[in-house]
Structure 1
Amino acid sequence: MKTAPNTIISKTQPTISARRRWSALAVLMLPVLLVSVDNTVLAFAMPSISQALQPTGVQQLWIIDVYSLVLAGLLVPMGSFGDRIGRKKLLLIGSTGFALASALAAFSPNATWLIIGRASIGFFGAMLMPSTLSLIRNIFTHDTERRTAIAIWAAMFSGGAALGPIVGGFLLEHFQWGSIFLMGLVVLLPFLALAPWVLPESQDPNPGAVDILSIFLAISTMTPIVYAIKAVAESGLTPLNLLTATAGLICGALFIRRQLKQPIPMLDVRLFTNPTFTGAILGNLLAIFSLAGFIFFVSQHLQLVRGMSPMDAGIFLLPGLTVTVLAGLAVVKIVPKISPGTVVAGSLMLGAVAYGVVAISDNAATNLGLMIAFLMLGSASGAGETIANDLMLSSVPSEKSGAASAISEASYELGALLGTTVLGGIITAVYRSQIQLPQGLNADDAHHAQETLGGAVSVAQHLEHHGTELLTSAQHAFDSGVVWTAVISAILMALASIIVYRLLRQA
């Protein structure tokens, strides 16, 4: 019996029981939670890793950056592979590799091995996220059920990122730094035991041949662009950084051109001609942008200005995390009464208001103002991401859900990267312009104090004189940067809300 041209090959039949659908979702949340926690937990382990492995400055940057570079470059190719070989199959391969790579990283004898381990984790991590979202698209065919499932998926992703500091703080207080990687084994072993029995398989019935050149161009587009964004945040607009970004953009143009000429493209770029798809992707990216940028500066403010421990700072964020989850679930009930486009645009406008609260909260010095802002931002993020992802998935054919999910995941990664680098860059620029260094500092201490708030805190701790003066100046300079960042972010989010509404008003 031949398969109809646009019929998805899947064991996910309409008669699949509700119990199996929700059991499959529960199992799929394990890799989602793991990848999202892994995005934020490493930063808290870097002091311990630096002491144990003594990496050079360049090696330390690669330990942090190589994961996102590999992950961003491979998301689209891996989403396409999932469409071709089967999303369940790719998910199982990725989970097995992720577990093994995590073990390699946990027992790294030196910095080089840890960099290799982190790159391997990024490689296999790129197989996980597109597969989970595309499987949800094909398991849940009813609109309300699908939105609820996506709400849980988005809540796990956002919640995992916020849980990273808490999990990292707990593990590092009781175990060595390798424990943050061994956490992957604890999560993935039950997944690998249950997934073969619970998850259905699905794939594109007409996938076409594997296009090696398109894969190369996709990697050569995302990786240089992501690297350039990170490098600009570190060293500014240098000729090398501009050349790297230009190379990525050129490869991106060649990738698009090739996809338009292919009879069966690896990624159907014509999807972006659909305003609903484009608006949903943009809304998703901006929701993550605002949330990641907020977490970036609030975590430093709580620890380096307010004096909280990493664990306490993580706990401070828990109410916002809870609201993110609840808002994502509650919005499913609201959409039948309010158009999805209005919800996504409204969530961005609420994010703008949240940044406005930060801007007027006494130079970002009050915990109450930050708490209120994060509650608002959590509500906006939870609701906006859920509906944006649902709009994105429902606007494409089910057989293309893997590639579309990969685009969504790329928007997550790019949004998180832009949130930390762009907003972090604004804070750093204001900080460096406003900090006043006391007289008598040697050149090395002056350099470290002027680079970052963390550097100033470290220098102030060993100064016999002027330590308090330096610390006070650095903290005020940092919070001034937060205020400027909040003002700029509020304006950007308000403008983005208008643009997204125009794209999604027919949704």
Structure 2
Amino acid sequence: MTADDTPRKAGPREWIGLGALALATLAVSFDVFVLLLALPHLSTSLGAGATQQLWIVDIYGFMVGGFLITAGSLGDRIGRRRLLLIGAAGFGIASVLSAYATDPVMLIAARALLGVAGATLAPSTLALISTMFGDDRQRALAIGIWAGCFTAGAIIGPVAGAVLLESFWWGSVFLLAVPAMALLLLVVPFVVPESRNPDAGRLDLASVALSLAAVLPAVYGIKELVRYGWRPLPLVALVVGLAFGAVFVRRQRRLADPLLDLRLFANPTLTVTLVAALLYTMLTGTTLVFVTQYFQSVDGLSPLQSALGLIPGMAVSTVSMLVAPILARRFRPGHLIAGGLAVVVAGLLILTQADAASGSAPLVTGFAVWCLGGGPLLALGTHLIVGAAPPEKAGSASSLTQVSSEFGYSLGIATVGTLGVAVYRAQIEVPGAVPPAAATAARENIDGAVAAAGRVPAELGEQLLAAARDAFTTSLNSVAAVSAAVMAVVTVVALVRLRHTPPLGAQPEAAGPDAAGTAGDTADGSAEKAAAGQV
């Protein structure tokens, strides 16, 4: 690389712009976590039934998952900053509508709008970061800060939400995002340059419709199968989604300017890292569900105490995502990612040692360890995915990281989560004196066992709870063990397939076809990328 080819270092303007973009990340993270705190309050106030409560929670994720691919591609076409500003305005308006909803239907509609707006934020901010920071080292650090804001929001959001709920009405928690979006709208036009694909064609509306017809039924089907078991409607929805997905893929292959360029997946760095991120979300996200259930149903912690038990892991994750890009200046990102995943395996194995009498300490420790190990994958992996794509496809590549998270969690609950439920049902030994109705509820899940224990004599209830807690702990151990085994395989694959990725800022090696193909994806001429992407 010559002096003329050296990427321009980002200055104060770019770092201020990063701060503004981070506001969007924080706001989205706030919304996800504060809703769970506010749900009991708003359900009572609005008179929301059980089905309406499920839609209040789920509709946001449905819409985000459905519109991510479209949003990423749309940003490449009309401008990522423009799409971000539109999405931020929509997010702020939808937050206000959610806060002042007068009935469950209005709240569901407002959260649907919130999901559509939210789908524009992550791919737009990530794509803008990739073009603002031409220097490879600075870009990786900026992405680490961006990713760290998700976990920072997970720490700040519940605390701020709890304070608001103590002093104000339930809708106040939705207003947390409004100041952040207002500040973003004021600052971003002055410090963040516009970027787009100057040669992009018109948006293919048929592809947009096909992507929605594929994603929305598939996500709905998976969630409902997990929640209610093998029922006809969710199965039909899943099959319909897969069928439309096949049609969508065929159409993308024929179009000169597709909504999702499938040629991106021919890049080994992008594909390996994306699959690793998908499996990480799938396995650790599912395990976390069992961990939080253990906190409350086995160890008897309150929701607030359970949230506090996760804070050490969230804090460690934030630090890990900030430190990983700095370490990657001296060490190969592939080695850091693989080493981090080995630490994730160790954290999951710690969870296999928990029992019904051990308390939450092993789980808090295991969660913190796996969060420490996951930082390099989340920060450097995102950098590799975005850096492996051409600058004109930055929006589409950025959306892929979010799609993998959305589908990873749902697939994890549907597969590994189902395994955990099966283990629980096979292990629980309900005392013979428990009435049939209570016994049936106890065999369904541990929440049913806790409820059933309250409807029988105290001594019998304690026996039932002891059996349920033992069975659930065994299911948690099983989920953690399976997750650790799969993550061990992912560790080896990442080490082998990403081994040639050079340290950040280093020039690619000429170490054979595989090395050239991989290293060239991550240490290419970043100045050319920035020049092509910025307007």
Aligned match for 1:69, one of 62, 68, 72? 62
C-alpha separation between the residues in 2 aligned to 1:164 and 1:473? 36
Q: Quick check: 418-427 or 343-352, which moved more?
A: 418-427
Report the CA distance shift for 1:15/1:151 in structure 2 as closer, same or farther (over 3 A).
closer
Aligned match for 2:287, one of 282, 285, 294? 294
Do residues 492 (structure 1) and 486 (structure 2) align?
Answer: yes
**In the alignment, which residue of structure 2 is the partner of 1:282?**
275
- Note the C-alpha offset of 1:440: 6.4
Alignment size in residue pairs: 495
Do residues 389 (structure 1) and 379 (structure 2) align?
Answer: no
- Note the C-alpha offset of 1:464: 4.7
**In the alignment, which residue of structure 1 is the partner of 2:325?**
332
Q: Quick check: 98-107 or 160-169, which moved more?
A: 160-169
Q: Quick check: 103-112 or 427-436, which moved more?
A: 427-436
- Note the C-alpha offset of 1:54: 3.0
- Note the C-alpha offset of 1:51: 2.3
Report the CA distance shift for 1:487/1:123 in structure 2 as closer, same or farther (over 3 A).
same
- Note the C-alpha offset of 1:175: 3.3
Q: Quick check: 249-258 or 95-104, which moved more?
A: 249-258
C-alpha separation between the residues in 2 aligned to 1:294 and 1:37? 22
Paired residues for 1:35-74 under 5 Å:
35-74=28-67
Do residues 246 (structure 1) and 239 (structure 2) align?
Answer: yes
Contact 2:355-2:470 within 8 A present in 1 as well: no
Aligned match for 1:467, one of 457, 461, 478? 461
C-alpha separation between the residues in 2 aligned to 1:371 and 1:144? 33
Contact 1:364-1:479 within 8 A present in 2 as well: no
Contact 1:290-1:351 within 8 A present in 2 as well: no
Report the CA distance shift for 1:158/1:87 in structure 2 as closer, same or farther (over 3 A).
same
- Note the C-alpha offset of 1:452: 3.4
| Deviation readout 1:292-338 (Å, 9 max, x if unpaired) | 22332222222232222222222222221121111112212322333
Contact 1:291-1:378 within 8 A present in 2 as well: no
**In the alignment, which residue of structure 1 is the partner of 2:140?**
147
| Deviation readout 1:116-139 (Å, 9 max, x if unpaired) | 111111011011110010000001
**In the alignment, which residue of structure 1 is the partner of 2:513?**
none
Paired residues for 1:96-495 under 5 Å:
96-362=89-355, 365-438=358-431, 445-461=438-454, 463-465=456-458, 466-495=460-489
Contact 2:313-2:371 within 8 A present in 1 as well: yes
Runs of 5+ unmatched residues, structure 1:
1-12
C-alpha separation between the residues in 2 aligned to 1:162 and 1:245? 34
Q: Which amino acid aligns with 2:268?
A: P
C-alpha separation between the residues in 2 aligned to 1:492 and 1:363? 25
| Deviation readout 1:443-488 (Å, 9 max, x if unpaired) | 6655544433334334434545433333333222221210111111
Contact 2:10-2:134 within 8 A present in 1 as well: no
Paired residues for 1:8-47 under 5 Å:
18-47=11-40
CA-atom RMSD in angstroms: 2.4
| Deviation readout 1:319-372 (Å, 9 max, x if unpaired) | 211211111122123223332222223322322221111102345834332222
- Note the C-alpha offset of 1:391: 0.6
**In the alignment, which residue of structure 2 is the partner of 1:8?**
none
- The normalised TM-score by structure 2 is 0.86
Report the CA distance shift for 1:405/1:233 in structure 2 as closer, same or farther (over 3 A).
same
Report the CA distance shift for 1:424/1:164 in structure 2 as closer, same or farther (over 3 A).
farther
Aligned match for 2:500, one of 498, 502, 506? 506
1:276 alignment partner, SS class: helix
| Deviation readout 1:38-68 (Å, 9 max, x if unpaired) | 2233233332233223333322221221111
C-alpha separation between the residues in 2 aligned to 1:253 and 1:51? 43
C-alpha separation between the residues in 1 aligned to 2:111 and 2:170? 14
Q: Which amino acid aligns with 1:258?
A: R
Contact 1:324-1:378 within 8 A present in 2 as well: yes
Q: Quick check: 112-121 or 40-49, which moved more?
A: 40-49
- Note the C-alpha offset of 1:429: 2.5
1:209 alignment partner, SS class: coil
2:453 alignment partner, SS class: helix
C-alpha separation between the residues in 2 aligned to 1:243 and 1:386? 37
- Note the C-alpha offset of 1:274: 0.8
Report the CA distance shift for 1:136/1:450 in structure 2 as closer, same or farther (over 3 A).
same
C-alpha separation between the residues in 1 aligned to 2:419 and 2:136? 41
| Deviation readout 1:79-126 (Å, 9 max, x if unpaired) | 111111111111111111111111212222222112111111101101
- Note the C-alpha offset of 1:75: 0.1
Contact 1:131-1:402 within 8 A present in 2 as well: yes
2:393 alignment partner, SS class: helix
Q: Quick check: 308-317 or 95-104, which moved more?
A: 308-317
Q: Which amino acid aligns with 1:284?
A: A
Contact 1:291-1:381 within 8 A present in 2 as well: no
**In the alignment, which residue of structure 2 is the partner of 1:90?**
83
Report the CA distance shift for 1:488/1:164 in structure 2 as closer, same or farther (over 3 A).
farther
- Note the C-alpha offset of 1:287: 2.8
Contact 2:349-2:481 within 8 A present in 1 as well: yes
C-alpha separation between the residues in 1 aligned to 2:356 and 2:462? 19
C-alpha separation between the residues in 1 aligned to 2:222 and 2:266? 26
Report the CA distance shift for 1:129/1:193 in structure 2 as closer, same or farther (over 3 A).
same
Report the CA distance shift for 1:92/1:364 in structure 2 as closer, same or farther (over 3 A).
farther
Contact 1:278-1:503 within 8 A present in 2 as well: no
2:331 alignment partner, SS class: coil
Contact 1:87-1:201 within 8 A present in 2 as well: yes
Report the CA distance shift for 1:103/1:186 in structure 2 as closer, same or farther (over 3 A).
same
Contact 1:163-1:314 within 8 A present in 2 as well: no
Report the CA distance shift for 1:55/1:463 in structure 2 as closer, same or farther (over 3 A).
farther
**In the alignment, which residue of structure 2 is the partner of 1:7?**
none
Q: Percent identity?
A: 37
Report the CA distance shift for 1:435/1:55 in structure 2 as closer, same or farther (over 3 A).
farther
2:141 alignment partner, SS class: helix
C-alpha separation between the residues in 1 aligned to 2:357 and 2:233? 36
C-alpha separation between the residues in 2 aligned to 1:444 and 1:52? 31
- The normalised TM-score by structure 1 is 0.91
Q: Which amino acid aligns with 2:475?
A: G
Q: Which amino acid aligns with 1:498?
A: V
**In the alignment, which residue of structure 1 is the partner of 2:531?**
none
Report the CA distance shift for 1:121/1:199 in structure 2 as closer, same or farther (over 3 A).
same
